[in-house]
Amino acid sequence: MTERNQFAVHDADPTKVYRWVNTNERVLIGRMNEGWKVSEKDQITPEARKVLMNVVGQSTQSPDGGKTMRVGDLILMEMPKELHKENIVRRNEQRRERQKVSMDTLILQANQSAQAAMRAKGYDDSQIRARQVFSSSADDNLDSEKGK
């Protein structure tokens, strides 16, 4: 028996990115604000519609007559690849960079606290460096430590 992926987007437009989104109103509005649009599959061929009916197990016709693809409480949304790169990918990269800076700050603070505690116990700087536990992205040897 062949396993079917009910979330596969058949006849996907190669110039677009697709995403299944919860139909909760708040979630949909958030995704639409990001630039996602409900995928209208008016261009689906009758053959592809039969495949979808077999895979999804329900009609691709929504009650209001539109041709949206739904699986349970999920709806298919789409966005042009260029807009996705501009809106989503770039924003995620910026978030990762902010998170990295935040983590580096926390690591720096933890190291300073540990160093102060070790100095209070009489350790000198060379002993403190040898016992340093935390590394941040600012440390030159961070990448070499990942493999350890």
Q: At which residue do the structure tokens 């909760």 appear?
A: 24
pTM (2 decimals)? Answer: 0.49
pLDDT in tens, 81-126: 998 888 888 888 888 888 888 888 888 888 888 888 888 999 888 8
At 90 the pLDDT is 82
pLDDT in tens, 31-61: 998 889 988 765 445 665 565 555 544 444 4
51-54: long-range contacts (C-beta < 8 A, 24 or more apart)? 51/10, 52/10, 54/4
Q: Give mean pLDDT, residues 58-87.
A: 73
Q: Give mean pLDDT, residues 54-69.
A: 52
At 92 the pLDDT is 86
At 21 the pLDDT is 92
For the chain, which residues make up each domain, given as ranges? 16-89
At 53 the pLDDT is 57
Report which of 11, 12, 33 is spatially closest to residue 21, judged by C-alpha positions.
33
Q: Give mean pLDDT, residues 130-138.
A: 71
- For residue 145, what pLDDT band results from cuts at 50, 70 and 90? very low
Whole-number Å distance between alpha carbons of 144 and 104: 17
At 15 the pLDDT is 93
At 48 the pLDDT is 54
